[in-house]
Every structure is written in structure tokens, then in C-alpha cells.
Structure 1
Amino acid sequence: MAFSVDVEIELVAGFLPPGGAVELRGDLFGWGPGKTMTASATNINIYETTQPVTVSVGDKINYKFWHGDNSWENDNLTDNTQNNRYYIITQTDYDAASATIEKIFNNGSLETVINQPANITFTCNTKDRSITNAPTNTVFDNVVMAGANLPLKWPDGGWTNVGDTAKVIFMYDDGTNGDAVSGDKIFTKVLTFPKYSSLTIDYKYGANFGLSTNGGSNDNEAGVSANHYLKLAKTTESATVADTFGISWTKDLTKVEKLGNTLPSTYLLEQNYPNPFNPETSIRFSIPQESFVTVKVFNTLGEEVATLLNEVKTAGTYNVSFNAKNLTSGIYFYTIKANDFSSTKKMILLR
């Protein structure tokens, strides 16, 4: 099998230095260090390698490309049915005893990256949350972030203590480094994603990294690949993301639309439409002046299941799209807070 990957965006962005290491990783190598790829003799943006395999028609080859500084590709690059890239051996491949796979790292183009650096404030709420495999009520002594997009990095398999401390980013709950309130169990970290970063930020939290209270593993927020995903717009310069430890969710900053230029006279939260809904609905709100706006969704237990908006918005009327494809049928509540205004309404997800 012949593999090639175009890393032009990674080179232009400075994520990969000229001549830097690029590897093919995947099932063929146990998802550890893989096959080193070399720059093409005719195009320095293309890295290539070949790998002998023993396969049958219909076999699936799962793989991803990786480059130095432990930067993996994002998930769902072949389709949204699984995280890894894959290739299925065809009869034509089998008859020819060869297959050629040509890809672009992260499927990148100028349409799939941000046009400027983006400062994102990540908050992770640990109130009443549990660490996987740790005893109930274990105290969160630290929270770390890991991910696929620089400055985030993925630790090596197993998230071991040795050598991985430099690959994770520690968050704060001491009122410094962007943290709003010391000791409120909401950990905070401000990260700057450089120009040409992917529009999809793939990340995950871990608790009590390197401590005996980590439940037996530093990768202890949720199951393997149960990650968080943040969808940026090309023009995103700053935003705040409110996560809850152990609840994986895709947050899409492109799903907030300003409607016209009319200035409302009062704050207003409208009933979602359609309602009941399955799985997507729209929530409209109005603010008469520039406000820091938070729109969240909760289940009937009062647990936060989604943060749809958490940033400053200018005066106007907005529409927020909410997709509940990962939630079960039932009653949910959505709430808005903007300056001194707050309002809550009920909606029904009906499968």
C-alpha cells in the first residue's frame, strides 16, 4: 500500500518545521510509533511511504497521519461513523496487489482553518462530577487538558505520568490565569490557537494527573475517544467554552446567527422552534445592548448537558441552533443569562 499526505498547511502555519518527522500510524503498528514518511523528491509538501500488508477484499485498514511534537490528525476525517481514517480493500486493489492512498493532513485547506489567532477560554466544571474508576466524592486536586490541536497535544498511549506531564496543560482554580473565582471547582485555562489552526478543536480533560487518586489512569474523564469537539468559525478571534467534566459534547461556534440590524428595546428569550423537536431546534433571543451572553441546556436533574453560547455579543436578535443527537428523549430546559437578565424555558426532545 502506498500512502501519501500533503502537509502544506502544517508547514505554512509552522506546526511542522521543514524536514520534520511525519509518520503513518494505525492498526498496522498498534497505534504506537509507526512508519516514517519521507518528503517527495518532486514536492516538499508531500510525504510518502509504502507498507506491505496481507489482506483480503473488504478488509478495513484504520490509520491516521502524525507529525512531530505528537500532533495527530483530528477525528472523523473519512466520515462521521468512526474517529480514524480508514480504507477498505477493493477487488481492484486485490487484483493489482497494490493500493494508493493520497490525503491532505486534517483534510486541510484555507477554507478549513482560522484566518487569525484565536484566544479560547476553556472552563471545566467539576461540581458533583466523578472521576472514572475513582471512589465517589474523590476531590479534584488538578485538571489537565490534552488534544489534537497545538498548543494541545495528546499524551502517549495510557497517558502515563513519566514524560507526559509536558504534553498536558494544567488548568487553574485559584483565581489566576483567567480563572474567575478561586475554589469554585470550575477550572480554567486560556489557550491561543495559531493562525491556520483547524476549525475543529479535538480535546479532552483528565483529573488528578499523576496522583494516586486518579482512579488508576490519567485518561479518566470518559471512555477512549469520548472527546470534546469545538467548531470554530474562520473569523473566530475569541470565545469562552463552558464544559462539564465527564460530559462530551460538540460545541459549534458557527451555529449562532445575528438576524438583521434592528435593535431590540428589551431582553427576550423566545420559545424554541420546533418544539417538540428531533434532533435539532432553534432558540432565538434578543439583547438591547452589548452583553456577555450565556445560553445553556440542562436535563431534569439540573445537570448541564450543553453550552450553546458563552461570549460577548453586540445588541441585536440572534438565533442559536441546538442539535440534541447525542441526548435521549425527554424534557430539557434552556436558560439565558445576559447582564442582569435571566430566563428559562422548557423544550421536549421526542425521538
Structure 2
Amino acid sequence: MAASGWLRGPAIGQGSTATVYLATTTTSSSSAAGRTQQTFALKSTELSRSTSLQREHAMLSSLSNPHLVASLGATITSEPGGRIFFNLAMEYVPGGDLSEEIKRSGPLDEPAVRGYTRGILSGLAYLHSAGIAHCDVKGENILLLGSGGDATVKIADLGCARWVDGGDEAISGTPLYMPPEVARGEQQGAAADIWALGCTVVEMMTGKRAWPNVTDPVAAMHRIAFSGDVPEFPPNVSGEAVDFLGRCLRREPEERWSAEELLRHPFVNCEGQFAAGGSSGPETKASPRSALDWGFWVAEEEEPEVEEGLPANPHAEDFSSDSMAERLRRLTSCGVPLSPAPDFLPWEESSWMTVRSAVEVVVGAASSLLFRHR
């Protein structure tokens, strides 16, 4: 077996329990031509504090979806000073996260929001079909390969994730993205991810958090839990966007649409784009073939649904009375242009440091990594 090792470079992320580094692996042979390198993200924390990271590894190792950051293996290492670390190697996504994109660009245009939302939903539908709730959906945990389109979106950081049927676990996540039932400490499941997705869509459209005037986490949780409010809907957006947000931001969890149902909503469902990047979850009914197939969800004879407590929006009535020409215009304008991913982080060669060389690295047929500690 050829000698193996990996190098840890600069930190590219910091969470409450772990630090994420950019890393590379090298496998050398007798000739320079036999040497290969692979860049990956390395999430590390001390072994004594690694419970959530080990749970994340256990979940990711059983999952595979184009809209989910892949696990490449894990190892335990002994660092200088006798400190023992648990390290999780993950796919490296060079485009940064959605929150950074919003900070750079401000409010995103609606076609871009549709594309990003479609990709997030595809990943969530897959997770939920596997019995896992993410529990911390937000822009910082949505990584991008480029700009726009569901193929560019990857959900990251399952540190707060839980098995839906796993019994009682402590509530976790980010207060401003928690739904009422989580803020009250009652339950946390797949429906909580849908509320958080709605908050993230509001953030994409406005460039601000869903609760922009609330800065104190305790005050935020109290308002979310007991006030009866929902996040304010963005102005000047399409009726489809208003209706989509209304399906996500319902205070009662059982009234929120599932990720699979939302993937069939005309706000995100564009023929051709959705078909290429849909969820790998369980089979569902066929999606409508055009924006004219709104009857797929709401029968013609049904009255338009009115949600109590949802903010009024002048576009809401237009959604139920659009002309055929207008619906066709929306369908054909749903594409999202792609642009090259920006450089992520520049670094000098001298900033890299060798962390562990006595580690065996096996590169499989699918270019995945398996770390084995000697």
C-alpha cells in the first residue's frame, strides 16, 4: 500500500461545536505521475465534544443525494499536546453559502429564488423520506456551486439533525428560524424544516432576516411562540410566491405542506429543470406539465383558500384569476441563468500545515475517501 497522508489548511467555517478546514489528501507512489490529490472539507472537534459530529457522520454515511453535502469518511487523530480529535471529511463546495450570496448581492431576483428554493426542497424531500429532519435550515447551511438553479444547491451541516422517530431529544437550531412549536419546546420534525425554508425564502427576497426588528434571541423565541404572528411577506412579488410562502409559514405544523407537495407548487416546478434535479425520495403523483395545471392541487369547483393571519398582499387575488397568457409567461420565465462560481478563499502555499501523515487513505471507484486511523 502506498504511503498516505492529508494536510489541513486554513479554517473556512466555525460552528458551535466544530471548526471546518480546507484540506487535501495526497497518495504518493514511486513516481511523480502516480501522485494524486483531492481537496475536501474537514470538520474537526475534540473527541470529548464530538457527539453531534459523530451523529452527523452516522447519518451522512447512509445518505446520497446531489442536493446534500456528501460524507467522505471519518478518523480519530492524536494532535500535539495529547489532544484527541474526531474528524469528519466532507465534499468541498467552493461557491460559499447562500447567506454570503445574499450579503454580496442584496435581495435576489425571483427567478434565482425559485431555483435555489427548488434545490433546497429537493434535498429536504430526500432527507424527510429517509426519516431525518435537518432542524437548522438557514442560508449559512445552504452551500452553492454557482449562481441559480437547483443543481447548484447543497444542504450542509447535519449537526442539529434528528431521526424523526428517534424519541425525545433536546430542541436545537437557530431561534429566528424556529417555528412556534419548536420555540415552545413541544416538537421538532420535518414540518419545522418547512417553516425554516419559508423564513429563508423571505430572506432571499428581502435581503433581511425574516424577523428583521428582533435582535434578542429570547425575545424572538417568545414572539414566535406566543404572539400569533408570522414573518411579514415580501412586497412586490408574484402571486405564486405569496401562495408558496403561505403554505410554508403556517403556525400549525400539520397545516404546512410537505417538501414533496411543495416541489409540485408552480413557484418552483418548471418542466425540464425540476425533472433533472428532483428528489430521490418516495414516488409521488406526477407533477403538472405546465402552470395551467393548477387544478392538479386545487379542484376547479373549490373556492380559493383564505388563510387567517397571513399578511395581505395585492398579488394574492391575481394568483387565482390570472389569464392564460400570464400563466404561460410565468412558465417560460422560470429559468435561472448560471454564472461561474467565485473564488472561495485565496491562500498561500506556506499557510498549509501537515497534521497527520500516519493515516491510510483509500480512494474508491466513486472518488470517495475512507479514513482509517492506524
* Structure with the bigger percentage of strand: 1
TM-score of the alignment, normalized to the shorter chain, above 0.5: no
Which interval holds the TM-score relative to the shorter structure?
under 0.3
TM score, norm. by length of structure 1: 0.26
- Greater relative contact order, per chain length (Cα 8 Å cut-off, separation 6+): 2
